Structure 1
């Protein structure tokens, strides 16, 4: 009986592993103009992010936005840049989350944990390739968003599936669904609130849960994001035993001329101060890690606005980041979604 031997130049084939890929929104490589422009161009040309006609949007993007906005956003990033590692805190935290998750799964030898960014580096495609070459026949893609939105979760999934198009040997792929009402997540948020407030020598009259906004037009097309945000805060209220007046919902980070989900965070913070509220706290349940939108837009800009309009005490409650409770949530979700694979 003859045996067909593989050719001597046949590459080594790894197999039998399961990959977990944590994916967050993205980060510029630096705060300089070129780095910011490159990052913003990738972000703002995504059809999931800006759904306008290209004929309408591109003249605005390339004629105005990418000429002016890189300097403005770069200056904002400079105020919250991780100077020790010369990178954004989103990169710092996402890497740390992947490293801590790898430690959590160290007793399961066939699990490989990696991380990527939807915009910027490391790219989803590069890390999918690396996981496949490492022998991952199955990959769980985890968009790091507790709430589903087409402009966040869907665009991560799109990019992951696009990466498969270039692969001869495609791994099986799973994506993590939203977990906005998961009891482990709600408990972690509640713990973060009570632990932070315990460090203060004053008590907030109002606590705001500020979520990243989306245009109203996206909501009207059927995006479930708004409903999931409202449910998270409702479950938090029930867990803490607070009223609607004590724990509010607002939406931040609007961009362009369209109407976005309301009430707006900046307008609400200003109004509360003008109405005589002296002490508030703000947290961002929709962000897994602190980033520009939490550290600069809330902890700096919202604080300044509140105090300028008559408020006296303002505190930002940090995101879960790579804290013990934060990792408990991420590990819990991954274990649940890996059932049947490990």
Structure 2
């Protein structure tokens, strides 16, 4: 039975325009896994207020980070797909690697059609989310289940739940921090900022926050950091209800008053650089930190298509072949 790999990430608008962003946000924010407010309440608010007003603002943010080749997330994801395929080939493991997005294009349906056309009868589904969350990993599973409802012959599949404490992942993160320090010097604090989720999700059993803290602990241990030399925070909150804390932006504004003037920031939950890292962390939060009295701010890039990251992805895939 021929095996294929389905890499999945969140997705991105097709262009940095209000129209494209509105289409993307509409699909994203309609997902009940992302926003679980009753539809009768949520849909009028989404279409009447949020999308008309938020789409142009978000489009301008995308314009500030858009690359000549396209959306950073898409460009990097395609590089990851190609690099993983090449790494498997070099190891003598012949299997197609397809890329699908939870929202936007290429869709998971498109990726599945590619794998079917290649004769795949067994699929390894790899959501590119190191830490499990109901709003990301579980949403990928939902999309896969909807696809399979249309199939007469459902393929065998393995679903990679998370890899927040995988030794290869921790090593790749630590190596990226060390490489940055060698080039730019070392700050007084390493801040590990993760995308947030509503606190209510964790209270109801989502392990995401606990897994984020575990990742931070393992990275700090690998780097030999003392407890006062690193912190975990959460970014990108949306809406009015409490999200996981401490918040990244509030921490940025408080650190200079605590005597921390030189800061290094890494975002371990993001497998590829995107709007939330390149604009929110590298630009917005940098401004907050410097305006509060900080003197040196460095964002450490996501793992992207670095050799250590591709080796990790290959290890995750090969583990499912056993």
TM-score in same-fold range (> 0.5): yes
Correspondent of 1:28 among 5, 10, 13: 13
| TM-score (normalizing by structure 2) | 0.97
1:95-106 matched pairs, under 5 angstroms: 95-106=78-89
- Asked if the contact 2:88/2:94 (under 8 Å) is kept, the reply is no
- Asked if the contact 2:3/2:122 (under 8 Å) is kept, the reply is yes
Secondary structure at 1:111 match in 2: coil
- Asked if the contact 1:124/1:159 (under 8 Å) is kept, the reply is yes
What is aligned with 1:337?
A: 320
Secondary structure at 1:228 match in 2: helix
- Asked if the contact 1:213/1:251 (under 8 Å) is kept, the reply is yes
Correspondent of 2:150 among 166, 178, 184: 166
Q: CA RMSD in A?
A: 1.1
Residue 208, structure 1, aligned to residue 198, structure 2: no
- Asked if the contact 2:129/2:271 (under 8 Å) is kept, the reply is yes
* Distance in 2 separating the partners of 1:89 and 1:166: 32
What is aligned with 1:92?
A: 75
The gaps in structure 2 that reach 5 residues or longer are none
Secondary structure at 1:259 match in 2: coil
What is aligned with 2:22?
A: 37
Correspondent of 1:125 among 109, 112, 131: 109
Residue 313, structure 1, aligned to residue 296, structure 2: yes
Correspondent of 1:276 among 238, 247, 259: 259
**How many pairs does the alignment contain?**
321
Residue 114, structure 1, aligned to residue 114, structure 2: no
Correspondent of 1:229 among 200, 208, 212: 212
- What per-residue deviation string (whole Å, max 9, x for no partner) do you get for residues 120-154 of structure 1? 00000121122112200001111000000000001
1:148-159 matched pairs, under 5 angstroms: 148-159=132-143
Correspondent of 2:61 among 76, 81, 97: 76
What is aligned with 2:126?
A: 142
Which structure has the larger Rg over C-alpha atoms?
1
* Distance in 2 separating the partners of 1:161 and 1:55: 25
* Distance in 2 separating the partners of 1:326 and 1:115: 16
| Deviation (angstroms), 1:333 | 1.0
| Deviation (angstroms), 1:110 | 4.2
* Distance in 2 separating the partners of 1:72 and 1:311: 27
What is aligned with 1:243?
A: 226
The gaps in structure 1 that reach 5 residues or longer are 1-15
- Asked if the contact 1:141/1:160 (under 8 Å) is kept, the reply is no
Q: Which has the higher helix share?
A: 2
Correspondent of 1:326 among 309, 313, 317: 309
| Deviation (angstroms), 1:34 | 1.2
- Asked if the contact 2:98/2:114 (under 8 Å) is kept, the reply is no
- Asked if the contact 2:189/2:230 (under 8 Å) is kept, the reply is yes
Secondary structure at 1:257 match in 2: coil
| TM-score (normalizing by structure 1) | 0.92
What is aligned with 1:58?
A: 43
